Chains A and B, each alone.
Chain A
Amino acid sequence: MLDGRLARLQARMREAGLGVLLIYTSFARPSAVAWLTHFVPYWNEGLLVVPPAGAPTLLAAFSKRMHDWIRSVSHVGEVRSVAALGRAAVDMVENLPAASAVGVIELDALPWTVAEPLLACCGERLTDASELFASIRQPADDTEIRLAQKAADIAGRAIASIPHGAVRASEVLAAIERSVRHDGAEEVLQRIAPDLGGGTTLRRLEGDCHLGGRYAIELSIAYKAAWVRVARCLSPNAPPSWKQAQRWTSDWATGTTGVSGGPPPGALAFWTLEACVGTRPFSVVGSAIGPRGTVAPGTLACYAVQLQLADGPWLSGGPVVVGGEGPGRLLA
């Protein structure tokens, strides 16, 4: 499966005349390298050097003793421990024919410590390869959708594990963390709107606070490098309007390529559609303020919707496989 992804990428590189493709990875931007190799650097940085044919080389700021771990969790050719990613990449690029284009996914965003030596070495040969990569990144393959389904199931169990009588945000966050990690997910990022009566902002909570009668949580979960984002409103006394809102939202989310969900049961305050198209797990590909581009049928995306219902605000989010001529498919 990983070999197939790499082969598709390398075919596009050859069509585009790229001599090499460089892909940066860090905790904040792990997705492109993870999609190709299953490697996530966690507490470090790396640079994947992809030739037009053959196995890629991973440049990583890890010491050599970590190579066994890297090899045990990923699928790469050579692994090189380097002190400085940019300078190490220059050493590899200098072996290319002088006119070869050097592609970089998200060149504009490349950290300066990595980019500076490359600029000095390659200058005009550096070219942004974000569109090239995005063109093969979606639609999602069956493997990724299976992993995303597993992550969505983990999210569902985590939400179900929240104590019914929870009165403090920390009880909710701890229950979710325990459930998700015991289910084998490698990462969970949580945001919480602890009292929908006081606002719908999903916060990264430092400290603790009391829960209101209605609150909302958002979980971003990684399972074997497949990320999903799920948001739900919770209340010991959920009003009937919430079920109606969820039904409409499910129809809306599965019809995001054009099938109408009919009028919403309240004012549609905001919405986004996010997908992985580059180095980050989630990038906004559509929103209430305008689309970033077209979303291909089969894309693994995550919707987020906020409605202003007659009895208060309500929000929801979840993963969806975007439909084509037919409706899409919700994973959560």
Chain B
Amino acid sequence: MATEGMDVLVVAGDPWRSDYLRYAADLAPGEGQVFAFVEAGRAVRVVADSPAEAERFRAEQRDLQVTWSLSPIEEAEAAIRSLAGARIALAPAAAIPFRLAAGPLRSSVASATALLDRLMLRKSSLEIDALRRAAALADDGYAVFREAARPGRPEYALVAEVEAFFRSRGCPENFQILGSGGREVRGMHPPTERRLAPGDLVTTELTPCIQGYYAQICRTLVLGAASEAQLRAFAVYDEALAAGIAAVRPGATAGEIARAQNEVFRRRGLGEYVTSEYTRVRGHGLGLYVDGRPALLEDVGLVLEPDMTLVVHPNTYHPEVGYFVHGDSVRVTENGCEVLTRAPRRLFSVSPG
């Protein structure tokens, strides 16, 4: 903040975009809108719009100055006005509300957001430790998922078992989507009432959170013995994942990791299926947000540096077997990468009986 010429950084967040708040003030809002006023040499001031959340923040961090208001944006606006003469910046663009950003501090939003984005890319050793533990928990969670996957069970029952497992291990949050079925399945979604059937491919990505840091695993299983087509498909995704991970090193761009994965599909005549018609990204950053920067897409030029953390996942539709996922969490090291995910890279086969 000092080098950027900021005296006070006002950081906004809510349960959807809590990452910047978590980074700047270690606040994880469970509901409502929250503003943190961060400045050197002073306790962080917090404005919340829920009395229960305000009480929780006070209990979690005794040195915070917390107030709650039925009109938190007006309260934050008044607090900003009271700082006349200070150099104030607002962040992030994805969460700062219209009323504050449309005022005289409008020009500060882009630079303050960029500042936090830069700081959040490279992780400290404590952050890496949290990510390692989250990755280990994701491995264990996937074992629970495999155990829960049985014909006749609705998709939501699998999520019930995984979420209960994570709560039993003290993990308050997990982002999970899944898919089940055959060639008709084009992606993953929140769990539905669909019941699993023999022969289904069952895909999932699990993203548990430890101390705010998310790690992700993507795997696919088949209910019963895998067909020849399913095994052929798996070989493509496994090769693509290995190629993507092999490309992760300092100095490589996010685009190069995406290209390494996509080239495997192109060589197999599957290039159509790595376009935006069938897939979104080939992985993304991990940290305080489940879908962080950088997106792994061929046109993204962000250069990797040590201690950035990513999930590499060549997830996409396969014309013979349907949607298929396969991905590991990794950390960029000084000369390559460390794979944080330990679960075997297999097409898991679960007994249908």
Binding site for B on A (CB under 8 A): 26-29, 40, 42-43, 45, 63-66, 68-69, 72-73, 107-113, 115-116, 119, 170-171, 173-178, 180-182, 184, 186, 189-191, 199, 201-208, 218, 220, 270, 272, 280-282, 284, 287, 290, 292, 304
Contacts and interface: CB of A to CB of B under 8 A. Distances in A.
Contacts, number: 166
Interface in B146-188: 154, 156-157, 159-161, 163-172, 175, 177, 186-187
A190 B166 CA distance: 13
A326 to B, nearest CB: 29
Interface of B: 14-17, 28, 30-33, 49-52, 55-56, 58-60, 70, 73, 93-99, 101-102, 109, 154, 156-157, 159-161, 163-172, 175, 177, 186-187, 189-193, 210-211, 276-280, 290-291, 317
A205 B280 CA distance: 33
Contact of B170 (A73, A170, A176): A170
A112 B93 contact: yes
B160 A182 contact: yes
7 contacts: A63-B277, A63-B280, A73-B192, A110-B98, A112-B98, A191-B56, A206-B171
B317 A65 contact: yes
Nearest to A104: B98
Contacts of B109: 112
* CB-CB nearest 8 A-B residue pairs: A181-B160, A178-B164, A174-B168, A28-B16, A108-B99, A115-B98, A28-B14, A112-B101
B167 A170 contact: yes
A107 B14 CA distance: 16
Contacts of A42: 177, 190
Given A109-B97, A116-B93, 11 more contacts: A42-B177, A45-B16, A63-B280, A65-B186, A112-B96, A112-B98, A174-B167, A182-B156, A202-B56, A206-B172, A218-B52
Contacts of B166: 177
B172 A284 contact: no
A272 to B, nearest CB: 6
A206 B170 contact: yes
A109 B28 CA distance: 19
A258 B173 CA distance: 40
A116 B93 CA distance: 9
A270 B279 CA distance: 50
B136 to A, nearest CB: 15
A184 to B, nearest CB: 6
A181 B193 CA distance: 11
B26 to A, nearest CB: 11
A170 B175 CA distance: 19
Given A43-B290, A109-B97, A201 B165 contact: no
A206 B173 CA distance: 9
A110 B169 CA distance: 36
A26 B16 contact: yes
Contact of A203 (B56, B101, B193): B56
Q: Is the interface of A mostly helix, strand, loop or mixed?
A: mixed
B259 to A, nearest CB: 19
Contacts of A115: 97-98, 101-102
A278 to B, nearest CB: 12
A280 B31 contact: yes
A287 B73 contact: no
A189 B31 contact: yes
A111 B277 contact: no
Contacts of A204: 28, 30, 56, 172
A34 to B, nearest CB: 13
Contacts of A180: 160
A182 B157 contact: yes
Contacts of B98: 107-112, 115, 119
A29 B171 CA distance: 23
Nearest to B280: A63
Contacts of A170: 167-170
Contact of A205 (B15, B95, B170, B189): B170
A180 B161 CA distance: 11
Contacts of A272: 51-52
Contacts of A292: 70
A280 to B, nearest CB: 7
B113 to A, nearest CB: 9
Contacts of B211: 206
B99 A111 contact: no
A271 B193 CA distance: 37
A28 B15 CA distance: 5
Given A178-B164, A202-B52, A27 B15 contact: yes
Contact of B163 (A108, A181, A208): A181
B187 A65 contact: yes
B141 to A, nearest CB: 13
Contact of B94 (A69, A111, A218): A111
Contacts of A191: 30, 52, 56
A287 B51 contact: yes
B167 A177 contact: yes
B160 A178 contact: yes
Contacts of B277: 63-65
Contacts of B290: 43
Contacts of A111: 17, 93-98
Contacts of B70: 284, 287, 290, 292
Nearest to B175: A43
Contacts of A68: 186
A110 B97 CA distance: 5
Contacts of A119: 98, 102
